[in-house]
Chain A
Amino acid sequence: MSTATDLLPAARGGTGTKTGGRRFGAFRLFGGQSSGGESAAKRVQFSSPFLPYLFLAPQLAIIFIFFYWPSVQAIQSSFYLEDPFGFGSTFVGMTNYTDVLKSGEYLGIARFTAVFTALVTFFALSIGLLLAVKADGVIRGNAAYRTLLIWVYAIAPPVAGLIGMMFFDQHIGPIVELARWFGWDIKVGLNYFDTAFSMVVVSVWKQIPYNFIFFLSGLQGIPVSVREAAAIDCRSGFRRFWTVILPLLAPTAFFLLIINVTYALFDTFGVIDVMVKDKAANNPITLVYKVYMDGFRGNDLGGSSAQSVILMLIVFVLTIFQFRFIERRVHYN
């Protein structure tokens, strides 16, 4: 926990060092003032030692009520089999966990979730970065490009899913028409691969603008002097990008990596829900969707709780892995 809270703000905004200004570039993008540089000198002193805790209290209360409490409840009910209306519950120990883990269907969903998360994260990050680099290079009409690229971010996930579904509709979808030209008969909702393909495409499309905003502001925060020096030292633009620009973008990229993995695991729920139209059937779904299906549609509270605890553990392990191994390659200064 402590690593996460210590480092996330650093990744997001920097804290008053020279590089801080770079990452506040996000505000510059929207016409705000860069606030880096001068803040190092301002160290606020509180008159009472309790005051800071008082200021923190609302945030802590929210975290407690909306995160810790439900988590504890989930852990507790994962050991019980409960009737939906809450009349009685039977302690069943680890049964809910063993039932889930020995189910071939669940393991299949877990496998799909891993592949899906990897694909969405990879494509959303790389395409976002590519667009940001290109938009950064544009001199004339760059505002129009940016607006066009950022605009998609304003769309809510279910709406994105709905639009995606229309594009991929078996009967009226333009992408389906296009694919048929090339001899590919896309059948979303019927064919496992086709459905998975369209889910990835729509999820990536939805996330690109977010990555784009951060990468672009990151790029704009790189001091001109550094770029000029690099340009003098090396003629190859590609090598310059790999050796100079990308390392300077690393904190942004690391922050986005975590955000994107979380997005692919959890926020794609709306997209999936619309695409499978409430009926998972033989279609791919992610672990989170399975939790919803069993808990809210199937009223199996115990089984659903066990699954969400498993999911919580997966995310926990993933986060530790990211901060321990990937973060080492990130330099904040």
Chain B
Amino acid sequence: MFKKFSLAALTIAFSATSSFAATNITWWHGMAGRNGEVINEVSKKFNEAQSACALTPVSKGTYEEALASGIAAFRSGEQPNILQVFDAGAATIINAKGAVIPAEDLIIKAGHNFDRNAFIDGVRYFYADSEGKFVGMPFNSSAPIMYINDEALKKAGVEAPKTWEEFEAAAPKLKEAGYIPLVQSQLTWQFTENFFSRNNIQFATNNNGYDAVVDTQLKVTDPNLIMMFDKLKAWKDEGYFAFYGAGWNDNQKVFEEGKAAFWIGSSGSFGGLQKTAQMPFSATFLPYWGSIKGAGTNSFIGGAALFAMSGKSDEENKCVADFFQFLTSPEIQYFYHKATGYVAITKAAYELAQKDGYYKEKPVAEVGIKQLMLPAGDWSKGYRLGFYPQIREIMEREYGRIFSGETTVKDAFDTIEKEGNELLARFAKTAG
């Protein structure tokens, strides 16, 4: 309640101090807690840096709620200037032709330079169209990385694995030393979507869905993915892998308490983990399979991007472009990177952090960026699939059934492919 009031007070303060001449723009986002406060700080910095525009950030709850409110507002013509949309919702907003002005067009029209190559590789494509034009402006970006319990490794006398084969070799020793060798926090993002990019395997037809909506089909019955989940199931039965359900924190908790050796989490979790982890920890890249040819490519980003909604005046759009420009400046990116743990999205910001010696002090903070900067493959840039939040639901349901022994891996992926393709076909009709 207090937060709401202070936010309202802040809003009034902003609009009062800049009511003359300044153009007001609004930014709806799906962040709460510390990350929400950082957004307020970023907006404040922008408002103080210039006098032509006044930006008001509004928290709309979670990512899903922000997207739902944004859509509802758009339908009634009351949309905000900027809407934050999370990775799985990207196809929804990008395929709605005319709902947004591509960020790149907006920035160029406002007279700024825009260099796609200034962004680090893993960030560049996810919110872009098939030609590489930025539709959304990447904002908070993360990569799935493997956090390491240093004590566990020392006790078991093993090294952090690069590949899953190395993990398999180390797991019995870790188990003997009294640890759960592996836990993870989101099978869909970490072991499915990023499995495809990290091992450079095609996820869906039509260039992973980037090229077209019609006739896009999942390719999740890929033998390599089935092998991965067969392994996970076997590891679980052996006690090398533990699964506590689809809830993020249920799985993170065992790592924080020092009971697990490795945890696959988000690079954006680093900020919080520094406070909650009860043992020294480090991090390394998400492992890949040495047995798969061409594996070891970069992962794509998770997190969310900012979209400039259409139907606004030129003045307001100019302000949005100015803000995007401001947001990608190295100083602001570095500030955001440090405050939240999300990765810096531009090369210049990354270099600034390096120069500042930030990674000497906090090497874990660099792992996510380094993973995103690994060489790219044909299939490592991500995916663009409609009704994707629902497809994730199907995956989560089937994965739960695999680990509780209600279904086999093969059957589970057959079901995911069938139901997922039905959803994609339905989405194609809505976008047609």
Question: Which A residues contact B (CB, under 8 angstroms)?
Answer: 81-90, 92, 99, 103, 105, 170-171, 187-192, 277-283, 293-294, 296-300, 302-303
Chain A residues with CB below 8 A from B92, complex form: 84, 299
Q: Can you name the residue of chain B whose Cβ is closest to the Cβ of A293?
A: B393
> Does A189 contact B247, Cβ atoms closer than 8 Å?
yes
B1 to chain A, nearest CB (A): 13
Chain B residues with CB below 8 A from A294, complex form: 390
> Does B253 contact A90, Cβ atoms closer than 8 Å?
no
Chain B residues with CB below 8 A from A84, complex form: 71, 92, 96, 430
Question: Which segment of B144-152, B173-181, B368-376, B398-406 sits at the interface?
Answer: B398-406
Q: Can you name the residue of chain A whose Cβ is closest to the Cβ of B401?
A: A282
Number of residues from B at the complex interface, CB < 8 A: 48
Q: Tell me the bound Cα distance from A279 to B246 in angstroms.
A: 6
> Does B98 contact A87, Cβ atoms closer than 8 Å?
yes
> Does A189 contact B430, Cβ atoms closer than 8 Å?
no
> Does B244 contact A170, Cβ atoms closer than 8 Å?
yes
Q: Tell me the bound Cα distance from A275 to B398 in angstroms.
A: 19
Q: Tell me the bound Cα distance from A283 to B248 in angstroms.
A: 15
Chain B residues with CB below 8 A from A88, complex form: 430, 432
Q: Tell me the bound Cα distance from A81 to B429 in angstroms.
A: 7
B302 to chain A, nearest CB (A): 16
Q: Can you name the residue of chain B whose Cβ is closest to the Cβ of A84?
A: B71
> Does B99 contact A282, Cβ atoms closer than 8 Å?
no
> Does B426 contact A282, Cβ atoms closer than 8 Å?
no
Known: A297-B389, A300-B390. A190 touches B426 (CB 8 A): no
> Does B64 contact A278, Cβ atoms closer than 8 Å?
yes
Q: Tell me the bound Cα distance from A83 to B64 in angstroms.
A: 16
14 new A-B pairs (CB below 8 Å) besides A189-B246, A281-B246?
A: A85-B96, A86-B75, A170-B245, A187-B245, A190-B244, A279-B393, A280-B397, A282-B398, A297-B64, A297-B389, A298-B387, A299-B92, A300-B390, A300-B426
Q: Can you name the residue of chain B whose Cβ is closest to the Cβ of A282?
A: B400
Chain B residues with CB below 8 A from A171, complex form: 250, 253-254, 257
Whether, in the assembled complex, B431 has its beta carbon less than 8 Å from a beta carbon of chain A, the answer is: yes
> Does A296 contact B404, Cβ atoms closer than 8 Å?
no
Known: A84-B71, A277-B247, A282-B400. A90 touches B387 (CB 8 A): no
Q: Tell me the bound Cα distance from A312 to B423 in angstroms.
A: 24
Whether, in the assembled complex, B12 has its beta carbon less than 8 Å from a beta carbon of chain A, the answer is: no
Top-10 shortest CB links A-B: A282-B400, A189-B245, A281-B246, A279-B246, A298-B390, A190-B245, A281-B396, A85-B96, A83-B430, A277-B247
Known: A187-B245, A303-B426. A90 touches B432 (CB 8 A): yes
User: Which residues of B in the span 376-432 have a Cβ within 8 Å of any Cβ on A?
Assistant: 387, 389-390, 393, 396-401, 403-404, 406, 419, 422-423, 426, 429-432
Q: Tell me the bound Cα distance from A281 to B400 in angstroms.
A: 7
Q: Can you name the residue of chain B whose Cβ is closest to the Cβ of A294?
A: B390
Chain A residues with CB below 8 A from B250, complex form: 170-171, 189-190
Chain B residues with CB below 8 A from A87, complex form: 96-99
> Does A280 contact B387, Cβ atoms closer than 8 Å?
no
Per-residue 0/1 for B92-108: is the Cβ within 8 Å of any A Cβ (1 yes, 0 no)?
11011111000000000
B341 to chain A, nearest CB (A): 21
- Name the prevailing secondary structure of the A interface residues: loop
Q: Tell me the bound Cα distance from A92 to B419 in angstroms.
A: 19
* CB<8 Å pairs between A and B, sample of 11: A84-B430, A85-B71, A85-B75, A85-B93, A170-B244, A171-B257, A280-B393, A280-B397, A282-B404, A282-B406, A300-B390
> Does A187 contact B98, Cβ atoms closer than 8 Å?
no
Per-residue 0/1 for B217-252: is the Cβ within 8 Å of any A Cβ (1 yes, 0 no)?
000000000000000000000000001111111100
Whether, in the assembled complex, B62 has its beta carbon less than 8 Å from a beta carbon of chain A, the answer is: yes
Known: A279-B246, A297-B389. A83 touches B253 (CB 8 A): no
Chain A residues with CB below 8 A from B13, complex form: none
Whether, in the assembled complex, B169 has its beta carbon less than 8 Å from a beta carbon of chain A, the answer is: no
Chain A residues with CB below 8 A from B257, complex form: 171
B394 to chain A, nearest CB (A): 8
Known: A99-B426, A300-B426. A190 touches B243 (CB 8 A): yes
Chain B residues with CB below 8 A from A187, complex form: 244-245
A81 to chain B, nearest CB (A): 5
Chain A residues with CB below 8 A from B389, complex form: 297-299
Per-residue 0/1 for B248-265: is the Cβ within 8 Å of any A Cβ (1 yes, 0 no)?
111001100100000000
Among A81, A103, A279, find the residue whose CB has the most chain B CB atoms closer than 10 A. Answer: A279
A266 to chain B, nearest CB (A): 19
Q: Tell me the bound Cα distance from A192 to B406 in angstroms.
A: 11
Contact residue among B64, B400, B430 (Cβ-Cβ distance under 8 Å from A190): B400
Q: Tell me the bound Cα distance from A300 to B91 in angstroms.
A: 13
Chain A residues with CB below 8 A from B248, complex form: 277
Whether, in the assembled complex, B164 has its beta carbon less than 8 Å from a beta carbon of chain A, the answer is: no
Known: A81-B429, A299-B92. A278 touches B396 (CB 8 A): no
B192 to chain A, nearest CB (A): 14
Chain A residues with CB below 8 A from B393, complex form: 279-281, 293, 297-298
B51 to chain A, nearest CB (A): 33
Chain B residues with CB below 8 A from A303, complex form: 426
A251 to chain B, nearest CB (A): 40
Whether, in the assembled complex, B68 has its beta carbon less than 8 Å from a beta carbon of chain A, the answer is: yes
A323 to chain B, nearest CB (A): 36
Known: A296-B64, A298-B389. A280 touches B245 (CB 8 A): no
Q: Tell me the bound Cα distance from A293 to B98 in angstroms.
A: 25
User: Which residues of B in the span 319-372 have a Cβ within 8 Å of any Cβ on A?
Assistant: none
> Does B430 contact A281, Cβ atoms closer than 8 Å?
no
> Does B74 contact A299, Cβ atoms closer than 8 Å?
no
Q: Tell me the bound Cα distance from A283 to B404 in angstroms.
A: 12
B215 to chain A, nearest CB (A): 16
> Does A281 contact B399, Cβ atoms closer than 8 Å?
yes
> Does A189 contact B74, Cβ atoms closer than 8 Å?
no
Contact residue among A170, A190, A281, A300 (Cβ-Cβ distance under 8 Å from B397): A281
> Does A189 contact B244, Cβ atoms closer than 8 Å?
yes
B85 to chain A, nearest CB (A): 11
A84 to chain B, nearest CB (A): 5
